[in-house]
Amino acid sequence: MQTKRWNVQTNKMAISEAAALLEDGQTVAFPTETVYGLGADATNNTAVSKIFEAKGRPEDNPLIAHVATKEQLNSLVSSLSPIAEKLIDAFTPGPVTFVLPSNGTCAENVTAGLSTIGVRIPDHPVANKLLKECGIPIAAPSANVSGKPSPTTADHVWEDLNGKIAGLVDGGPTGVGVESTVIDCTQELPIILRPGGITKEQLEQVVGKVMLDPALANASEKPKAPGMKYRHYAPEVPMWLVAGSPDRMQEVINRERAQQNRVGVMASTATARKLEADQIIPLGFELKEIAANLYDALREFKDGNIDLILCETFPETNIGEAIMNRLKKASSAHL
């Protein structure tokens, strides 16, 4: 398959041509404010199956339906609780996905056979224009080969999926850098199934107590939301998380280099400046900056250049919760 690539800055036909492919049952990657998504018509079982095929993703992992408006969201669900209404009004458009009772409009391979559906309204001008042009809900997981770090630039998508999908809309780098928060609004108390761009603290300011799902790390559960099953975000070489001071990190670096291992490091800029290793990628000073740079950094380390990645751990507060959720899924050990 030949993949068509449009640059929205230079091609005025990009959105309409991409929308036509989606309406025709094809797969198209596009930017959102979190990561690039790989889209297909969420009401078309055959179209959605092309997403799983391109990504190599198991079909028991549900997808998120992306829509342009609250009216479209309402058309996919059987009911909205008062709490769901409050959260939708407060945080859409934005990096949050709501798990709601499905009315069966979307294809069964979008919901993975569950009675619920994850829906979100993205806050990205390209995504929003594309969804309005289509007028149909678009199922879209991250536009990468399953298991690899999620894509935050069009080049990341091209590297993984060129020749496997019909089109790629290049809208520049994404902003948040980690996927949307997934919140289950079908229970009495809202439950975060996946931490992301909207934090627990932000949600609680609107509706009071919000729970964090204790089954987040339990791969034996049938997932109600993306990112709850299988190893994700893995770089090309093993990655260890290292807790403690920069001195502790340097000790581990020195030990591994003494064993002839080439060591790469991911750390906050403040920590990175205190270390010596074979390759060091500073992620930034603040947690928001670290989140935005995380997946790009994971893709920077290549097999053949580095034998092992060591990554600093971060406070699990605010967006740090989402950062550590992704790093734990990407790592093979925690020191």
146 among the known binding-site residues?
Answer: no
Asked if residue 79 belongs to a known ligand binding site, the reply is no
Q: Binding site annotation covers 102?
A: no
Going by their DSSP bridges, the two strands 116-120 and 96-101 should be labelled as: antiparallel
Q: What is the largest CA-CA distance in the chain?
A: 61
Cis before 93 (ω within 30)? yes
Is 254 marked within a binding site?
no
Q: Pull the structure tokens for residue 281.
A: 């990628």
Contact 301, 161 (CB under 8 A): no
293 belongs to an annotated ligand binding site: no
- Is residue 181 within 8 Å of residue 171, measured between CB atoms? no
Q: Is 233 annotated as a binding residue?
A: yes
Query: 169 is written with which tokens?
Result: 């809309």
Known binding residue 248? Answer is no
Is 46 known to sit in a ligand binding site? no
| Amino acid letter for position 108 | E
Token reading at 32: 């959102």
**Annotated binding-site residue? 142:** yes
Token readout for 289 is 């900056």
Q: What angle do CA 159, 123, 183 make, to 5 degrees?
A: 95
CA distance 217 to 138: 28
Annotated binding residue at 186? no
User: Mapping DSSP to helix (H, G, I), strand (E, B) and coil, where does residue 97 land?
Assistant: strand
**CB neighbour list of residue 159: distance below 8 Å, 6 or more residues apart:** 299
Q: Which residues pair with 167 in a beta bridge?
A: 4, 28
Cβ-Cβ contacts under 8 Å for 126 (sequence gap 6 or more): 8, 15, 30, 31, 169, 171
CA angle 50, 53, 59 (to 5 degrees): 95
Does 115 carry a binding-site annotation?
A: no
CA distances to 12, 21, 113, 143, 271 from 228, rounded to whole Å, are 38, 30, 16, 17, 30
- The answer to the question of whether 245 is labelled as a binding residue is no
Question: Which residue ranges make up the annotated binding site?
Answer: 34, 57, 61, 66, 116, 120, 140, 142, 150, 180, 194, 233
Q: Which residues are annotated as a binding site for ATP?
A: 57, 61, 116, 150, 194, 233
Annotated binding site for L-threonine, which residues?
34, 66, 120, 140, 142, 180
